[in-house]
Amino acid sequence: MDLGLSDKVAVITGGSAGIGLGVARCFAREGTRVVLAARDRERVAGAARDIAEEFGTEALGHPCDVATAEGCDSLIDAAREAFGGVDILVNNAGTGSNETILDAPDDKWQSYWDLHVMAAVRLARGLAPIMAERGGGAILNNASICAVQPLWYEPIYNVTKAALLMLSKNMATEFIPMGIRVNTVNPGLILTPDWIKTAKQLSADTGGDWEGYLQSVADEHAPIRRFGTVEELADFMVFLCSPRASYVSGSVHHVDGGMLRSI
- Name the residues annotated as catalytic: 157
| CB 164, CB 117: distance < 8 Å | yes
Residue 70 to residue 187: CA distance in whole angstroms:
29
CA quadruple 24, 250, 94, 77: dihedral sign: positive
- Asked if residue 117 lies in contact with residue 166, where contact means CB atoms within 8 angstroms, the answer is no
- What is the spatial distance between Cα 33 and Cα 51, in angstroms, rounded to a whole number? 10
- The DSSP element (H or E) to which 187 belongs, if any, is strand 180-187
* 241: nearest Cα among 193, 165, 183: 183
